[in-house]
Structures are given as structure tokens and as C-alpha cells.
Amino acid sequence: MTSTEIKNFGIMGYPVGHSLSPQMYKSVFEAEGFINYNYIPLQVQAGKLFMAVEAIKSLDFRGVNVTIPHKTTISKYLDAIDSDALVIGAVNTVVNDGGMLTGYNTDVAGFLAALKEANFLPEDCHAAILGAGGAARAILWGLCKKRASLITIGARNPQKAQNLANDFLSYGSVQSFDWNSDDFKEMIQTADILINTTPLGMFPLVDDMPPVDLKLLPEGALVYDIIYNPIETKLLKTAKELGYPTLNGLSMLLLQGKEAYRLFTGQFPDTKIMEKTLKKILSKK
């Protein structure tokens, strides 16, 4: 299929030079024959966000992905917010329908789809989350939607973790701890899945990992690190050596991108092309 219609897409953040999204989406556009579809990195400083959002309309962008530091602040400049993004408090995808801008959060769909691909059922599970930042909010909401029986948050900042837990108490059974505490160490002994949402272990600081004793996890617990660069973090490498099943962040990145592509175009992309492109990029880093 070939299309001569011009459509513009992009990713908005500051900085955005590190983003893999332009190459990932461009590879699919090319494969699908969308020769006049453009995906543009849009470096937008915080004080210029309103002007950038208005430019999406005036330049007739079909949609943009949104990254740090705009995921929470962009909402006030949009016309509508999807229910997932509203609960999470963050937008990572904006769709332009004739000047009507709607914000979505595709991280939830990407996270849950990645678990499904890994044959892990979050229903009635005990999930332990490391970290209490923006990524943790999306994952926490996904687990609540799937009715996890218990969600335990462990973080470096106990107050931040408690605030996050408080935000979701009406949606499920959520508790928080200092990740160095004996209470947290006791709790992870019954966890079915441990999810790292922190940047500890991300390139270039690949020798870092959260301060968690993986030996405390029960046999067969899934260790999931949403970091995708490197593909195997120190946390996952350690877990694998101890015999635990592991899952990296590449699948979540791909599947949230798949959902954003659907919102942009009304079609599902060939994720094999996206995956091949990402792995080629990451292999060079």
C-alpha cells in the first residue's frame, strides 16, 4: 500500500535527541508505503510548551508522542484526556482530530500487553514495584485495572512511595515501604512479580541496580525491568543467574508504540519491523 497524503507526527520533549521513536516509526511508515509520513523530533523547553501545542494545530500534525518533562504539564493545554491518562496523571500521546487535541497514556496498554506476551497473568497476583516515579504510576494503574490482589511499592524515598500508594488506594490494595527496610524484604518473599521502574542500570550506568536481594523472591517469580537500554540490565542478569524468569523493557516500548501508532493511524503496525529497527539501534550502543 502506498499513500501520497502528507501527514506529520513527532515526539515532544527536552531533550529528545536520545529518543528511538523517530527511527522506530519511520521504519514502519517506509514498510507500509507511507512515503509522505514524517516523524520529527520536537525539542521543546518547558516555558514554550503552550506555543508548541498550538503549533501542533497550526502545522496540522496528526499527533505527537510526549516525553520528559512535558508528560504531566501538557494536559492543561489539551481539549480532552483519556481515562487512563487522567488516572495516571500523565500523557505520552496526543492525537489531533481537526484541531481537537486528545491526550492518552499508552504505557498502560504496553505494560499489560508485554505481560500477556510473557504469559504472566496479573489477576490476583502479588506485585512488588521498585520506584515511585511517573513510570511506576502507569504500571500501578495497569495492575489495579487487572485486579492484582496486592501491590507493594518499595522506593528510596518512603514519603514519595506513600504518596503514590495513597493516590491508588481507592483502586486496589496498595502499600508502600522504604526499599531498604526489613518490612519490604519480608513482603517480597511472597511476590509473584518484581518490577523495576527506576533508571538504575540504564545506559551508561549499566553497573547499577536497585538495592534488592533477589534471593528473597519465591521460586518462579518473574523479574521485570522496564529499562530497554541495555536489553539485559544488571538486575536481569543477576535474576537469570539465580534461576528466575526475566522480562526486559523492549516489549513494553514496542507495544506502547504499537498502541500509539493505532491511535495515530487507525491501523496496527508490523511490530516485527519496529523490533528489528530498535534492536539494530541498541546493538550499536
In the block, residue with C-alpha cell 528466575: 244
In this structure, what C-alpha cell is assigned to residue 13?
A: 520533549
Contact 67, 92 (CB under 8 A): yes
26, 48, 57, 71: which is the annotated catalytic residue?
71
Count of other CB atoms within 10 angstroms of residue 156: 16
As a whole number of angstroms, the distance between CA 105 and CA 40 comes to: 20
* Helix/strand/coil for 7: strand
In the sheet where 174-178 sits, what is the strand order? 174-178, 150-155, 126-130, 193-196, 222-225, 246-247
Catalytic residue at 76? Answer: no
Angle between helices 158-168 and 134-145 (to 10 degrees): 30
Residues forming the active site:
71
